[in-house]
Amino acid sequence: MTSPALTLYYAPRTRSRTALWLLEELGQPYALESFDMASGRHRQPDFLALNPMGKVPLVMDGAVPVSELGAIAIHLADRFPQAGLAPAIDHPHRPAYLRWCFFASAIMEPCLAERFFKWQVPDSTVAWGSYDRMMAALQPAVADSPWLLGDAFSAADVLVGAAVDFGLTFGAIEKTPTLLAYQARLAARPAYQRADAIEARESTRFPRNG
Ligand SMILES: N[C@@H](CCC(=O)N[C@@H](CS)C(=O)NCC(=O)O)C(=O)O
């Protein structure tokens, strides 16, 4: 048996669940390198050589490391176009797709941190604007259509959807009917549920300490 070309370095209860969900949507075989964050595996020299940030997730595409969720999603969706997770480069949806892929980490992540940690920053100066401006951009995009690109689910929904999930779960995003309905559509996807089952299994294997 040949070993799968894709490997996910993953730890339960972290953002690596987003990459896990993405891989399940992709439908390609992959190996799961699961470890406990408490082990410090992500701070070891061999891991830092692959991701100098020392963070999960990390995906190996053969011998090539890919880190940062946005890069992982864009790379894998383009690499396996048969999964239909990315509009083609000349498709009119492509710019919106890329915008939403960046929106998750460049806008949503800092906005949620700002709200969670109660930072006071001027919205016209910081790159991410503000929580209110983020919500004003996000909500209409999923209010009248199932997914960010209308009827076409894409890797951008995994990235943005995971940030919505995280924000709703930890109280960093207001539980609006629009976002709760979007979250419910995401949670109904078989790939999302497979990722949840793996996450539950690995969380049991590596229970939280303390
Ligand atoms: N910007 C990264 C964020 C990844 C991240 O924050 N990972 C956290 C877990 S949720 C981590 O590995 N933390 C361990 C550490 O910083 O030591 C991405 O998009 O992949």
Do 125 and 64 share a domain, yes or no?
no
Whether 77 is in a domain gets the answer: yes
Digit-coded pLDDT (tens) for 84-129? 999 999 999 999 999 999 999 999 999 999 998 999 999 999 999 9
CA distance 47 to 26: 24
Whether 210 is in a domain gets the answer: no
Indicate whether 37 pLDDT > 80: yes
CA distances from 6 to 45, 105, 178, 191 (A): 21, 23, 35, 17
CA distance 38 to 56: 13
Q: Give nearest CA residue, ligand 1 atom 16.
A: 55
Q: Give nearest CA residue, ligand 1 atom 13.
A: 55
Do 126 and 45 share a domain, yes or no?
no
CATH number at residue 107: 1.20.1050.10
Digit-coded pLDDT (tens) for 176-203? 999 999 999 999 999 999 999 999 999 9
Over residues 158-171, mean pLDDT:
96
Alpha carbon 46 to chain centroid, angstroms: 24
Average pLDDT, the chain: 95
The predicted pLDDT at position 209 comes to: 59
Question: What is the tally of structural domains in the chain?
Answer: 2
Indicate whether 57 pLDDT > 70: yes
Q: 187: CA distance to ligand 1 center in Å? A: 23
The predicted pLDDT at position 210 comes to: 43
Q: Is the CB of 17 under 6 A from ligand 1?
A: no
Q: How confident is the model at residue 3 (pLDDT cuts 50, 70, 90)?
A: very low
Structural domain for 165, as ranges? 94-189
Do 80 and 99 share a domain, yes or no?
no
Pocket test for ligand 1, best of 55, 69, 103, 128 (most atoms within 8 A of CB): 55
Do 199 and 166 share a domain, yes or no?
no
Do 116 and 44 share a domain, yes or no?
no
